Amino acid sequence: MTLAIASDALTKRFRGGQVAVDHVELRVPTGSIYGFLGPNGSGKTTTIRMLLGLIYPTAGTHQLLGEPFVENAARVLPRVGSLVEGPAFHPYLSGQANLARLDAADRTVSARTASRRIGEALDRVGLSAAAGKRYRNYSLGMRQRLGIAAALLRPRDLLVLDEPTNGLDPQGTREVRHLIRQLGDEGVSVFVSSHLLSEVEQICTHVGVMSVGRMVWQGSLASLAAEQQARVRVLSAAPAAAARVLTRLGLDGVSTADGEAHAVLGAVAPEHVVEALVAAGVGVRGFSVDRPSLEDVFVGLTGEGFDVSG
């Protein structure tokens, strides 16, 4: 498996000693759509800034598109489109002029194709009609779209998109998801950060979850779902009796609450559990097998709470 992004022990300690990113090992497969998740303040943006060479890691190294970054930044970055911490453009220039400015700075593209590429990028994000309008007068959603257009100014092999749907209405969010999926289909590797799993769940093939500067889980979305243990829940007037049956069947984590008993299902078939309960004479009022939603998993990994970590 080749990797679009790989990092080894990437660490950033800011002056003052605060460790924003702590030994992060990114493994983003080529061609994947990788959801980089974590609550606000978990170190996502700092990681992204290190990936793009905007800030220097305190320790650790990384590779983009198979090339060690430090030595090859000038060669590899033209193949990487990015959106970092929201769009940023010159307010007194039009959207088109802003893209032309960025394009002029790129030594690897020719001026001859600039207006065509700028037109295509604007078209792709639905901004053609507002191309000549000053950035100052753009709405938040239009600004976000222009940021994405800048990332698409030329063919890319990797896109690093930090919260690309921020500020977009539901319609715009859907369009951006569609666009990302389309780019993924074209073979572009997409690294997309979000603080909401639900934002990226539908489009990602892989996820990495950050919490307080550390990577707490990473892998394919399918394996994240598969790893989650299903639990049985028995509603009964005699929860203690039900719990005894569950224990006898060899289920782990048996517990009782008011009027119900829980356990981890494991390898036991649900119908077998029902059968055993009935055979033991436990009056079953309700029975369910619950798999935690990915959102629950995410919260379980990152912790719940309103406080911004770090």
Query: Of the two residues 110 and 171, which places its CB atom closer to another protein in the complex?
Result: 110
State yes or no: residue 137 binds another protein (CB under 8 A).
no
Query: Of the two residues 56 and 306, which places its CB atom closer to another protein in the complex?
Result: 56
Using the structure block, give the residue that is written with the tokens 């389309």: 182
Q: Which stretch binds another protein (CB under 8 A): 90-98, 219-227, 259-267, 268-276?
A: 90-98
The strand order across the sheet containing 260-264 reads 252-257, 260-264, 231-236, 284-290
Q: Which of 19, 102, 235, 276 binds another protein (CB under 8 A)?
A: 102
Chain-centroid distance, C-alpha 296: 15
* CA pair distance 151, 167, nearest whole angstrom: 17
HEC string of 183-228 equals: HHHCCCEEEEEECCHHHHHCCCCEEEEEECCEEEEEEEHHHHHHHC
Query: Which tokens is 264 given?
Result: 């981890």
Q: How far is the CB of 59 from another protein (least distance, A)?
A: 14
Contact assessment for residue 45 and residue 86, using Cβ atoms and an 8 Å cutoff: no
State yes or no: residue 276 binds another protein (CB under 8 A).
no
Report which residue type is found at 111.
Answer: A
State yes or no: residue 111 binds another protein (CB under 8 A).
yes
State yes or no: residue 106 binds another protein (CB under 8 A).
yes
Q: Which of 31, 60, 78, 292 binds another protein (CB under 8 A)?
A: 78
Contact assessment for residue 66 and residue 57, using Cβ atoms and an 8 Å cutoff: no
Q: How far is the CB of 118 from another protein (least distance, A)?
A: 13
Q: Which stretch binds another protein (CB under 8 A): 2-10, 69-77, 253-261, 291-299?
A: 69-77
Q: How far is the CB of 25 from another protein (least distance, A)?
A: 22
Residues that bind another protein (CB under 8 A): 49, 52-56, 73-80, 82, 84-92, 100-102, 104-113, 150, 154-155, 157
